[in-house]
Amino acid sequence: MRGENTTDRLRLKAIMWELVILRLIRENGFQEIITVDNLRTRRDREQFFEMRGRGCWHQIDCPCEFDKFIAFINPIRLLGEVKYYATPIKKDHIRQFVGVLKDIQENYFTTDDINAPTNRYTELGAFFSSSGFDKEAEKLAFAHNIKTVSHKNVWILEPLKRALEELESNYLHAKECVSVGRQSDFVRAFKNCLEGNGRAIREIIRRYLPPDGFYDVIERLVGSFRAINSSFVATTSGGALLHFVGEKSFPEEIFRDTDRQLTRVFYFKENSRRYFYLEFVADQQRSKYYFNPPMALDQAAFYGQREAVMEKRQIFHSIHVTRQISGLSRNLILELDHDWLDEVEARM
């Protein structure tokens, strides 16, 4: 709430955003790590999930396991760092996360101790930011194979973010929610709130005594969250990662007989901001799947339509999605509709 310690307020917003991220990436085969072995993983004070490195234990915001196995690759664990700032992430944050990943990834040794952990994992790093990344941060992350996931200017997420910020600014005392011994109870209650659990909402009201108006804001937040019916992560041929979210479900029916589909990428302006979305050509509903574009595409759109077309050709030539359809894991290829772009270019 306003007037409180800035660090506590940032932590509260980040925790609420972490729970949103965990729910959105679940659709992509990543499940939150719940159980710990107290050898390589533990719960510190029953609230912070930590992983052991060579030098020390490290808190991980979004620890997940991938539910698929890939030949010649150890079981995959996603170590997610989450920040909810008003400004883009800078390279200092990435540099710190590089050190965390390196320390954890190198903490494997052979031993004759029968009590030592024997499982080996492939730890992958992802940095989730509500406000994007500056250019130096993206370069440093790319150099160290850390995926940057920006949710800046994702149209469908804007109402959710506004409600979350209003809750933190006007209704919730950060110290009461995220201090030692209290965070785990708040996380449990807020996670249930996101699922639309009325009992959890009443529990937060009873426990934290927020001012009048809280119920309307939390209902608005839950409504915005439940309006998201699809969430899929795609990788471009150049290795960039894009996170798409939409009001409609993923159009599985158009992939019934093929792993390839043509797509088109659009953007519109609202309140001086550009919002990008993707459509599938074969989708008769023309459902929109919103995403934050790579910096190069956003800048190209600022300079003009011709520059935007050139960047679309380069970035969206083909993007790749792993998705479970009818119980089968499928590797899907989304190809840009170049004939459509040719027509757009011819009309310029």
Q: What are phi and psi of 304, to 5 degrees?
A: 155, 165
Are residues 145 and 248 both part of a single domain?
no
Average pLDDT over residues 211-221: 95
pLDDT at position 318 is: 92
Bridge partner list, 57: 52
pLDDT at position 114 is: 60
Is the confidence at residue 119, as pLDDT, over 90?
no
343's tokens: 């027509």
Identity of residue 161: K
Domain total of the chain? 2
Which of residues 124, 152, 180 is at a domain's end?
Answer: 152
C-alpha distances in Å from residue 192, one per residue of 189, 195, 246: 5, 5, 22
Q: Which domain holds residue 295?
A: 231-346
Note whether residue 196 is domain-resident. Answer: no
- The per-residue pLDDT for range 21-80, each reduced to its tens digit, is 999 999 999 999 999 988 899 987 657 899 999 999 999 999 999 988 889 999 999 999
Average pLDDT over residues 83-92: 96
Which of residues 136, 152, 168 is at a domain's end?
Answer: 152
Are residues 49 and 145 both part of a single domain?
yes
pLDDT at position 115 is: 64
Are residues 147 and 236 both part of a single domain?
no
Q: What is the CATH number of the domain that holds 98?
A: 3.40.1350.10
pLDDT at position 179 is: 82
Is the confidence at residue 110, as pLDDT, over 80?
no
pLDDT at position 225 is: 96
- The per-residue pLDDT for range 246-257, each reduced to its tens digit, is 999 999 999 999
What percentage of the chain carries pLDDT values higher than 90? 77
Note whether residue 189 is domain-resident. Answer: no
pLDDT at position 46 is: 56
Note whether residue 313 is domain-resident. Answer: yes
Alpha-carbon gap, residue 96 to 8, rounded angstroms? 20
Note whether residue 58 is domain-resident. Answer: yes
Which of residues 116, 132, 152 is at a domain's end?
Answer: 152
Note whether residue 12 is domain-resident. Answer: no
Compute the mean pLDDT over every residue in the chain, rounded to the nearest whole number: 92
- The per-residue pLDDT for range 260-271, each reduced to its tens digit, is 999 999 999 998
Alpha-carbon gap, residue 101 to 123, rounded angstroms? 8
pLDDT at position 117 is: 60
Is the confidence at residue 240, as pLDDT, over 90?
no
Note whether residue 327 is domain-resident. Answer: yes
Are residues 37 and 146 both part of a single domain?
yes
pLDDT bin (cut points 50, 70, 90) of residue 195 is confident
Is the confidence at residue 122, as pLDDT, over 90?
yes
3-state secondary structure of 324: strand
Note whether residue 193 is domain-resident. Answer: no
In terms of residues, how long is the chain?
348
pLDDT at position 39 is: 87
Note whether residue 305 is domain-resident. Answer: yes
Spatial CA neighbour of 207 closest among 184, 235, 237: 184
Alpha-carbon gap, residue 330 to 316, rounded angstroms? 20
pLDDT bin (cut points 50, 70, 90) of residue 239 is confident
Is the confidence at residue 303, as pLDDT, over 90?
no
Are residues 145 and 235 both part of a single domain?
no
